[in-house]
Chains A and B, each alone.
Chain A
Amino acid sequence: MAVGMKRIPKLRPGFRFQWEPAQNAYVLLYPEGMVRLNDSAGAVLKEVDGQRNVADIVALLEQQFPDAGSLSEDVSDFLKDAEQQHWILFT
C-alpha cells in the first residue's frame, strides 16, 4: 500500500537528522542509537520538515534529480519503511 500523497511526514520526537563529515553521510540520531543513511535515504529525509507533504517532497526531489524519472513510488516506499522503523510519523 502506498503512502497518501497529501500526508505530512515528520521526524519522531527525539530524532535528529544531520550531516556528519567524519562519516561523509547524513545520519539519524536517536536515544542511544545512530543510523548512517545511504544517499537516497539522506536525500528524502533532508526534505522532511513537518510542513511538506509527500507530493511536495516528490516534486522537490524530481527537480533535484531530473534524470531519475518519476520518484513517487521510491519516496513512498522509503517513507513507509521509515514509518515502520519508527523514525518518522505522519501528522
Chain B
Amino acid sequence: MSGHHAMPAGDRPGIGPPLWLLAELTYRCPLQCPYCSNPLDFAQTQQELTTEEWVRVLRQGREMGAAQLGFSGGEPLVRQDLPELIAEARQLGYYTNLITSGLGLTATKVNAFRDAGLDHIQVSFQASDPELNNAVAGSRKAYDQKLAMARAVKEAGYPMVLNFVIHRHNIHQMEDIISLCERLGADYVELATCQYYGWAFENREGLMPSKAQLEKAEAEVNSYRKRLTSSGSAMKLIFVTPDYYEERPKACMNGWGSLFLTVAPDGTALPCHSARLLPIEFPNIRESSLHSIWYDSPGFNHYRGDSWMPEPCRSCDEKDKDFGGCRCQAYLLTGNADNADPVCGKSPHHDRILAARKAADHATAGLEELTYRNADNSRLFFRG
C-alpha cells in the first residue's frame, strides 16, 4: 500500500491502526500447490471460527480503521457463509477482495457475490497451459475451470486481477502467461515469485529459479511492458522478484504490527500470514478483542520498533528502511527470529542465501519430486 501522507496515528503513540485485514476463512482447499504458504501442520487445525465470530472480527476491525479486507484461505469458497460475510463486510464499508483458486466458483456465485457487494475477485493460476497448471495444482480439472471463472469475473464487471506464482518450472512461460492475461482482458497481472515459507520452504530446492532463469524472465516482462505501454494498454504487470537474489531484505509487511492483521481459520491473530511458524505466542480473537490484540498483546508488540534488534541491525543506518527484514525468514534460516534477515549482505548468515542460489544453479528435481500440500503430507509433518 502506498500513501500520499505519513500514516495516521492510532490509539497508542507510535502505533497506527491496522488498515489491512486478512481473513483466512479456512485451510481447506481442493488444490495441493507445493508452494502453499499455509502452515505445514494445517490438517491439525481444530474448529474454524463461526459466522458470528467472523462478523465480530469484521466489525471490530472496521471500527479500528481497517479499510482493505481480503478473504483468503485455503480456498475461501468452501465456506458456505461466504455470501453473508461479503454482505456484512460491504455494509461496514470495507473494500472486499476475494482471493481464490477459482475451484468451486460458478458464474451464478460470481454474480451473487457482486450483488452482495464484493469489490474484486483475484483468480490464481499455476501456469499458462493446462498440462503444467494441473500438474502443479495437483488437480486434473483445475485449468479449464480457472479459465471459465476468469471470464465470468470479467463479464460480471469486476476489475480482473490474475495471479501467477512463479517458480523454476513455469518461469520460462512469462510471455505466454502475459499474453494469456491480455487475451482474458486482465487489468492487473501479478507475477509473484515464490516466497519460501510454509510448503514452499520445504520445497525450496525444487522451486527456486536460477539467476539465469530470473534474468531472462525479467527481460521478457520488461519488454512486454514496453509493448503494452506503446499500444496504450492499461493492463498493469506486477513482477515480484524473489528476495533470495537481493542484497537487502524487503521491508516485510511494512513493519511488524504496522498495517497488517491476519486472522487465521481458528481465530489466531497474526502480524503476517506466515508468522504462525515463529516460536511466539499469538492471541486468539475468541479470547480478546481485536483492539487489545493489536495494541496490547505481547505477540503484536514483540517486534514493533527497533529495540529488539541485535547487531548488525541495531547500529545499521538502514534499519528504518527494512526493519531488519522478515522475521520468518530469519527464523527459518538461522534458527533465531531476532537475527537480521539473511538476505542482507551484512548478515553473518548470508552464506545460507548464497548456498541456496548455488543449489538453484544445479537443481534437477522434477515436479513429481515436490511435496504436495495435502492432508496426508500435513499429518506427516505434524508427527515430525
**A residues neighboring B (CB under 8 Å):** 12-14, 16, 18, 20-25, 27, 29-38, 41, 86
B203 interface residue (CB < 8 Å to A): no
A-B contact pairs, 20 of them (CB 8 A): A13-B157, A14-B120, A14-B159, A20-B65, A22-B8, A23-B8, A23-B19, A23-B65, A27-B67, A30-B159, A31-B187, A32-B122, A33-B2, A34-B20, A35-B2, A35-B3, A36-B4, A36-B8, A38-B5, A41-B4
Q: Do residues A32 and B70 form an inter-chain contact, with CB atoms below 8 A?
A: yes
Q: Is the interface of B mostly helix, strand, loop or mixed?
A: loop
Q: Which residues of A contact B236 (CB under 8 A)?
A: 86
Check if A34 sits within 8 Å of B67, measured CB to CB. yes
**B3 x A36 contact (CB < 8 A):** yes
B residues apposed to A, CB below 8 Å: 1-5, 7-8, 10, 17, 19-20, 64-65, 67-68, 70, 93, 95, 97, 119-120, 122, 157-159, 161, 187-188, 234, 236
Known: A22-B64, A29-B67, A31-B120. A14 touches B5 (CB 8 A): no
Bound-state CA distance A30–B255 (Å) is 22
Chain A residues contacting B122 (CB-CB under 8 Å) are: 31-32
B17 near A22: Cβ-Cβ < 8 Å = yes
Q: In the complex, A38 Cα to B3 Cα: how many Å?
A: 9
Q: Is the pair A32, B97 in contact by a Cβ cutoff of 8 Å?
A: yes
Tell whether, in the assembled complex, residue B65 and residue A34 are in contact, meaning their CB atoms are under 8 Å apart: no
CB contacts (< 8 Å) of B234 on chain A: these are 86
Q: What is the chain A residue whose CB lies nearest that of B8?
A: A23
Contacts of A29 in B (CB 8 A): 67-68, 95, 119
A16-B119, A22-B65, A86-B236 known; A31 vs B159 contact (CB < 8 Å): yes
Nearest CB on B from A62, distance (A)? 23
Q: Hey, which chain A residues are within 8 Å of B3, CB to CB? A: 34-36
Q: Out of B4, B7, B119, B161, which one reaches A37, CB within 8 Å?
A: B4
- Given contacts A13-B158, A23-B8, A30-B159, could you give 6 more A-B pairs where the C-beta distance is less than 8 Å? A14-B187, A22-B19, A25-B5, A30-B95, A35-B2, A86-B234
In the bound complex, how far is the Cα of B5 from the Cα of A34, in angstroms? 12
Task: Give the docked Cα–Cα distance between A29 and B66 (Å).
Answer: 12
Residues of A within 8 A of B95 (CB): 16, 29-30, 34
Residues of B within 8 A of A37 (CB): 4
B157 touches A18 (CB 8 A): no
Which of A21, A32, A36, A38 has the largest number of chain B CB atoms within 10 A? Answer: A32
Given A25-B5, A38-B4: A14 and B67 within 8 A (CB)?
no
CB neighbours of A14 from chain B (8 A): 119-120, 158-159, 187
Residue of A nearest to B259 (CB): A34
CA distance A32 to B2 in the complex (A): 11
Residue pair B158, A34 in contact (C-beta under 8 Å) = no
- Give, as a whole number of angstroms, the nearest-CB distance from B229 to chain A: 11
Nearest B residue (CB) for A12: B159
A35 proximity list for chain B (CB < 8 A): 2-4
Is there an interface contact between A34 and B119, defined as CB atoms closer than 8 Å? Answer: no
User: Which residues in A have their C-beta under 8 angstroms from that of B159?
Assistant: 12-14, 30-31
Chain B residue at minimum C-beta to C-beta distance from A27: B67
Residue numbers in A under 8 Å from B188 (CB-CB): 31
B35 to chain A, nearest CB (A): 19
Q: Which residues of B contact A30 (CB under 8 A)?
A: 95, 120, 159
Distance A71 CA – B2 CA, assembled complex (angstroms): 27
Closest B residue to A24 using CB positions: B8
- Shortest CB-to-CB span from A36 to chain B, Å, is 4
Expressed in whole angstroms, the minimum distance between the Cβ of B176 and any Cβ of chain A is 23
Q: Compute how far the CA of A20 lies from the CA of B1 in the bound complex, rounded to whole angstroms.
A: 15
**Interface-central residue, B17, B68, B157, by most chain A CB under 10 Å:** B68
Are B1's CB and A33's CB within 8 A? yes
Write out the residue numbers on chain B whose beta carbons fall within 8 Å of the beta carbon of A86.
Answer: 234, 236
Q: Is the CB of A32 within 8 A of B161?
A: yes
Q: A23-B65, A24-B8, A27-B67 are in contact. Are A34 and B161 (CB under 8 A)?
A: no
